[in-house]
Amino acid sequence: MDLGPARLEEGASFVREMHRRLTRFDPESDLSRFNASAGRWVGVSELLATLLREALRAHEVSGGLVNAGVLPAMLAIGYTRDFAEGPTVLTTPEPHIPAPLPDVLEVRGELARLAPGAGVDLGGIAKGWLADRLAERLGENALVNLGGDLYARGEGPDAEGWPVGFGERTVLLRDAGAATSGTERRRWGEGLHHLIDPRLGLPARSDLAEVSVIADTAADAEIFAKTALLLGTGRAEEFLTGRSRGWWMR
Amino acid sequence: MTPLALKLGATVLTLVSLAGSTTFVVRHVKNAEAPLHPSVVKVAGEAGPALQPRTRLHLEPSVRTTDQQAPLTFTYVS
């Protein structure tokens, strides 16, 4: 609230800088250079080390369903470039089942190692984490939304919480994150979309099309939403109970 | 000859019509056991399997909702 233009521009600049360093679509980014070094220990930036550890945490929390090591599977189904550059190439998907992330990724301080042939896509993990960090930078009362992953910090405009659209309702969030995972966006063919199920090594075939979650942080909300979507209707609610503050699914 | 021909033609037409009607009725016998209305498949108010809602929403008590304020933003798939 009441953030001046300079402060907002500072926040936007922070996001652009993070994107530049963490995107897999730029061969010069921290992430791309790390992926290119697979097979040996290399020094990584503090930022990348933190996010690689976050990816390992996401893997553990999700029981292996949120696996940042799905990059080879993403490339195999044709997701080879940023969607902003137009539709990706239509391919016949070949399954690439990734190994459990802790088996192919090690992080020690600011040293890290990927197993040969492995690759990491930080995708939603970075988005949720960044929403949390940006909200911290913007002060005690701020609402951040990075492509649907959001964090509401403080009491909001009327001291009742920040009004946020959640499913078909408006909720008042205070010191909480929210995120949505789904299979209906970023599609480029029948059964071809960006959300990989690491059990299949292929785009997910869940009976859920979309899951939104409220959690303590945007990072957690992102992990929980993706996990619930991959689990499907049978087990999603059981997984979310006790972890999240709320959910909406269809 | 003409009156006789007319009478003969009228008689033949009558017989043909009678034969045709008889054949039609014989082939379309009414089923006396047929119900007058479709059978009732469900009595109003009778308990049945609940329909699955298309969407599901769950909010912990700590999350309040509002109908008074428009959302400033929303969560979505990107």
pLDDT per position as a tens digit, A78-130: 888 787 776 666 667 788 999 999 999 999 999 999 999 999 999 889 999 99
Looking at chain A, which residue has its C-alpha nearest residue B73? A164
pLDDT, tens only, A12-30 = 999 999 999 999 999 999 9
Residue A218 has a pLDDT of 98
Question: Is A73 at the interface with chain B, CB within 8 A?
Answer: no
Looking at chain B, which residue has its C-alpha nearest residue A142? B72
| Cα of A184 to nearest chain B Cα, Å | 8
Q: Give the gyration radius of chain B's Cα atoms.
A: 36
CB pair distance less than 8 Å for B73 and A143: yes
Distance of alpha carbon A135 from alpha carbon A5, whole angstroms: 16
Token pair for A132: 């949390």
pTM of the shown model: 0.81
CB pair distance less than 8 Å for A165 and B57: no
H or E element, residue A123: helix A123-138
Residue type, A102: P
CB pair distance less than 8 Å for B72 and A162: yes
Distance of alpha carbon B12 from alpha carbon A88, whole angstroms: 81
Q: How confident is the model at residue A154 (pLDDT cuts 50, 70, 90)?
A: very high
% of residues, chain A, pLDDT over 70:
97
Strands B73-74 and A162-166, how do they pair? parallel
Q: Which residues pair with B59 in a beta bridge?
A: A246
Which of B64, B76, B78 is nearest residue A171 as measured by Cβ atoms? B64
Would the pLDDT of A134 be above 90?
A: yes
CB pair distance less than 8 Å for B73 and A168: no
Can you list the pairs that A93-98 forms with residues at least 24 positions away whose Cβ atoms lie under 8 Å?
Answer: A93/A191, A93/A192, A93/A202, A93/A203, A95/A200, A95/A201, A95/A202, A96/A70, A96/A72, A96/A201, A97/A73, A97/A198, A97/A199, A97/A200, A97/A201, A98/A67, A98/A69, A98/A70, A98/A72, A98/A73, A98/A198, A98/A201
CA dihedral A230, A196, A123, A189 (to 10 degrees): -120
Looking at chain B, which residue has its C-alpha nearest residue A164? B71
- A187 or B75, which is more confident? B75
Would the pLDDT of B3 be above 90?
A: no
Residue A81 has a pLDDT of 79
Name B20's Cβ contacts closer than 8 Å, sequence gap at least 6: none
CB pair distance less than 8 Å for A170 and B60: no
Distance of alpha carbon A103 from alpha carbon A106, whole angstroms: 8
Contact between A187 and A232 (Cβ < 8 Å): no
Residue A79 has a pLDDT of 83
Question: Is A145 at the interface with chain B, CB within 8 A?
Answer: yes
Compute how many other C-beta atoms are within 10 angstroms of the C-beta atom of residue B22.
10
Residue B53 has a pLDDT of 59
pLDDT, tens only, B14-56 = 999 999 998 888 877 766 666 555 555 555 545 555 555 589 9
CA dihedral A148, A223, A112, A14 (to 10 degrees): 20
All residues of chain A having their beta carbon less than 8 Å from the beta carbon of residue B55 are 167-168, 248-250
Which of A165, A212, A245 is nearest residue B62 as measured by Cβ atoms? A245
All residues of chain A having their beta carbon less than 8 Å from the beta carbon of residue B59 are 169, 171, 214, 245-246
All residues of chain B having their beta carbon less than 8 Å from the beta carbon of residue A172 are 63-66, 69
Ordered structural domains, chain A, with CATH: 4-249 (3.10.520.10)
Token pair for A87: 């539709």
**ipTM score of complex:** 0.89
